[in-house]
Amino acid sequence: MTRYVMTIDLRRCVGCQTCTAACKGANATPPGIQWRRVLDIESGEFPDVRRTFLPVACMHCGDPPCESVCPTRATTKRADGLVAIDYDLCIGCANCVMACPYDARSIVHEPRFAYGDTPTAAEAARFDPARIGVSMKCTFCKDRIDHAERTGLVPGVDPEVTPACVNSCISGAMGFGDIDDPNSGVNALLAETQYFRMHEELGTEPGVYYVWDKS
Amino acid sequence: MKPFNPRAVELAAPKQQRNWDWRAAANFICGGAGGGLLLVAAFAGLDAFATRAALLMGLALIGCGLTCVWFEIGRPWRAMNVYRHFATSWMTREAVVALVVFATGALAIITASVVLTLVAGACGAAFLYSQARILAANKGIPAWRHPASVPLMVSTGLAEGAGFAASVAALAGAGPDTKLLVLLLVLLTVRVWCWRRYLAGLTRSGAPLAALKVLDAFGPRFQTIGHGLPAVVLVAALVGLPGRSLMVLLAGLLVAASGWVMKYTLVRRAAYTQGLAVDHLPVRGRGPSGPAAKPGWKMMSGGNRG
């Protein structure tokens, strides 16, 4: 079996938002929509205050609540662990948006462009009408993962078949790979560190592991 | 809808959901009351005219709710795709039950068949239950996913249905009989018990502060105007004070209206998202890990991993 997951080493993330920009570039999301974001969390009380950068996106859950509530089967969990949306089936009911505890999904009801109603040349070239009025979210760059299947390249190792955010990370905070492969990089990292998965108590079995210390 | 541009430090905190607006709320408001009304009309022993009027009203309410939600979805012309996931989706189940509700309800009105009326009533109950489960299945909204939201939504639908049935009977001329008034009083008691249980459970298990603030502020008014006042009026009607029909009409409408306001509050105003959290702050350099951070929450729930 294959189960693609992401590792995010919070010790390394510097909050530069390069992954956010890379995702926007790779997926041509409209203004105001970020499939990948880096949150800036301030916590504690003076003088013991902390600032943490937290990259978030779809967690590609093992038991995705968005899939079970979807009335159309537009949202499905693939055999390799990726949670995908079929834009041609989705009716935009937003039930999945409500079901996701990670704020990962959004619906855009009309075309949006950076400078008003007229798209730039790049926006016009990459505008996808199929994504209007339907639910959308991070895909783990599934086209690249599918390309790996055809070429034999290894996601998380070969950049051509690795999510854009992971490729772009300047500090090496983000990793990607098959957690069912004992030799994968993500397995090696998780074996030597302490980590958590966000909102795991909700039973979603998220596929993103946040590393916070050595073991 | 107004654009929402939070500051960077606010992005992790729970936010009021902005995808289901008044149209989605109207589906729960009208559909729940309609389902409850069908059930009460089928089993309350109203006369033939009042039963038909109540059935018609129940179907109209459900139809109104579904029409509102049809106008909300992003791709309305693909609405038939809603029937594709009966195995796990309560929205699909609601849509399937709606078909049966309309078929049996319409036949019951046309034929005045007792059996069909009872079947329509049972289907109304199934519709009401499906709606309650739609809300509870949404793990992203803590105020909805709490298990006590299901009995709350069902009990308010039944109370609203009984309120409308009593109002229909009051307007139908013969006036509601004592059994229906007692039923309304019982359902009112059950609803206020479910409300208190829900709020206590939600506070105990943890929820976004903003959601609790909305619900806490709403609770006293809901209990006083939505339960205390109609209960007093109903008791007055039961003990035989003059103006019985008018009192029943007033009490019935108060019960229904208060239930509608409660559902709007739950679906729109108290619907804050889960928000994002860090179970362990990262260890940088020689310092220890900081405490968990869960912005906008009253308490931390769940365990840590590592």
- Tell me: the pLDDT tens digits for B140-154? 999 999 999 999 999
- In this predicted model, which residue has the larger pLDDT, B294 or A183? A183
Chain A neighbors of B66, CB-CB under 8 A: none
Looking at the complex, does the CB of residue A118 fall below 8 Å from at least one CB of chain B?
A: no
Give how many domains chain A has, as a whole number.
Answer: 1
- In this predicted model, which residue has the larger pLDDT, B304 or B174? B174
Is residue B9 predicted with pLDDT exceeding 70? no
- Residue length, chain B? 306
Share of chain A above pLDDT 90, in %: 94
**A113 has which bridge partners?**
A116
Looking at the complex, does the CB of residue A100 fall below 8 Å from at least one CB of chain B?
A: yes
B240 neighbors B209 (Cβ within 8 angstroms) = no
Chain B neighbors of A197, CB-CB under 8 A: 305
- In this predicted model, which residue has the larger pLDDT, B291 or A124? A124
Chain A neighbors of B24, CB-CB under 8 A: 94
CB–CB of B291 and A44 under 8 A? yes
Chain B neighbors of A136, CB-CB under 8 A: none
B138: confidence class by pLDDT, cuts 50, 70, 90: very high
Asked if the peptide bond before residue A47 counts as cis, ω within 30 degrees of 0, the response is yes
Interface test with A, best of B144, B146, B278, B299 (most A CBs within 10 A): B278
CB–CB of A196 and B306 under 8 A? yes
A77: confidence class by pLDDT, cuts 50, 70, 90: very high
A17 neighbors A194 (Cβ within 8 angstroms) = no
Q: What is the pLDDT of residue B297?
A: 84
Share of chain A above pLDDT 70, in %: 100
Across B73-93, average pLDDT: 97
A25 neighbors A164 (Cβ within 8 angstroms) = yes
Reading the block at residue B2, the tokens are: 């107004």
CA distances from A109 to A181, B19, B21, B73 (A): 40, 11, 14, 9
What distance in Å separates the CA atoms of residue B267 and residue B76, rounded to the nearest whole number? 21
The gap from C-alpha B42 to its chain's centroid, in whole angstroms, comes to 21
Chain A neighbors of B8, CB-CB under 8 A: 39-40
Reading the block at residue B280, the tokens are: 């362990």
Q: What is the pLDDT of residue B298?
A: 63
What distance in Å separates the CA atoms of residue B220 and residue B192, rounded to the nearest whole number? 11
Is residue B39 predicted with pLDDT exceeding 70? yes
Is residue B303 predicted with pLDDT exceeding 60? no
Q: Among partner residues A9, A42, A98, which is closest to B138 by beta-carbon distance?
A: A98
Nearest CA of chain A to the CA of B177: how many Å?
A: 42
Across B66-92, average pLDDT: 97
Nearest CA of chain B to the CA of A16: how many Å?
A: 13
pLDDT of B256-292, one tens digit each? 999 999 999 999 999 999 999 999 999 987 778 888 8
Is residue A108 predicted with pLDDT exceeding 50? yes
What distance in Å separates the CA atoms of residue A163 and residue A184, rounded to the nearest whole number? 16
Q: Report the SS3 class of residue B190.
A: helix
Q: What is the pLDDT of residue A82?
A: 98
Looking at the complex, does the CB of residue A153 fall below 8 Å from at least one CB of chain B?
A: no
Q: What's the CA angle centered on A97, arms B158 and A40, to 5 degrees?
A: 125
Nearest CA of chain B to the CA of A145: how many Å?
A: 27
- Listed by number, the residues of chain A in 24-43 with a beta carbon closer than 8 Å to a beta carbon of chain B are 32, 37, 39-43
Across A92-99, average pLDDT: 98
**Sequence letter at residue A8:** I
Is residue A69 predicted with pLDDT exceeding 80? yes
CB–CB of A133 and B74 under 8 A? yes
Interface test with B, best of A36, A59, A77, A98 (most B CBs within 10 A): A98
Is residue B306 predicted with pLDDT exceeding 50? no
Q: β-strands A75-77, A174-178: how paired? A: unpaired
Is residue B301 predicted with pLDDT exceeding 50? no
Nearest to A105 by CA among A73, A79, A69, A134: A134
Is residue B157 predicted with pLDDT exceeding 70? yes
Reading the block at residue B110, the tokens are: 């046309």
What distance in Å separates the CA atoms of residue B279 and residue B293, rounded to the nearest whole number? 7
Q: What is the pLDDT of residue B45?
A: 84
Reading the block at residue A214, the tokens are: 């050595």
- Could you give the angle at which helices B149-171 and B22-43 cross, rounded to 10 degrees? 60
The residue segments making up the domain with residue A170 are 4-214
Distance spanning both ends of chain A, measured CA to CA? 27
A6 neighbors A140 (Cβ within 8 angstroms) = yes
Q: What is the pLDDT of residue B290?
A: 80
Nearest CA of chain A to the CA of B301: how many Å?
A: 8
Across B169-198, average pLDDT: 92
Looking at the complex, does the CB of residue A116 fall below 8 Å from at least one CB of chain B?
A: no
Is residue B85 predicted with pLDDT exceeding 80? yes
Across B160-182, average pLDDT: 89
Looking at the complex, does the CB of residue A210 fall below 8 Å from at least one CB of chain B?
A: yes
CATH of residue A45's domain is: 3.30.70.20
Alpha helices, DSSP H only, in A64-184?
65-69, 95-99, 121-126, 142-151, 164-168
Q: CA nearest B8 in A: which residue? A: A40
Q: What is the pLDDT of residue B299?
A: 53
Reading the block at residue B22, the tokens are: 């008044």
Q: Among partner residues A41, A97, A204, which is closest to B19 by beta-carbon distance?
A: A97
A91 neighbors B82 (Cβ within 8 angstroms) = yes
CA distances from B111 to B91, B102, B106, B117, B264 (A): 30, 14, 9, 9, 36
Kindly list the structural domains of chain B, giving each domain's residue range(s) and its CATH number in brackets, ordered by start. 19-269 (1.20.1630.10)
ipTM above 0.85, yes or no: yes
Q: What is the pLDDT of residue B8?
A: 57
B167: confidence class by pLDDT, cuts 50, 70, 90: very high
Rounded to 5 degrees, φ, ψ at A193 are: -135, 170
B157 neighbors B36 (Cβ within 8 angstroms) = yes
Distance spanning both ends of chain B, measured CA to CA? 41
Is residue A54 predicted with pLDDT exceeding 60? yes
B94 neighbors B56 (Cβ within 8 angstroms) = no
- Residue length, chain A? 215
Arithmetic mean of pLDDT over chain B = 92
CB–CB of B19 and A107 under 8 A? yes
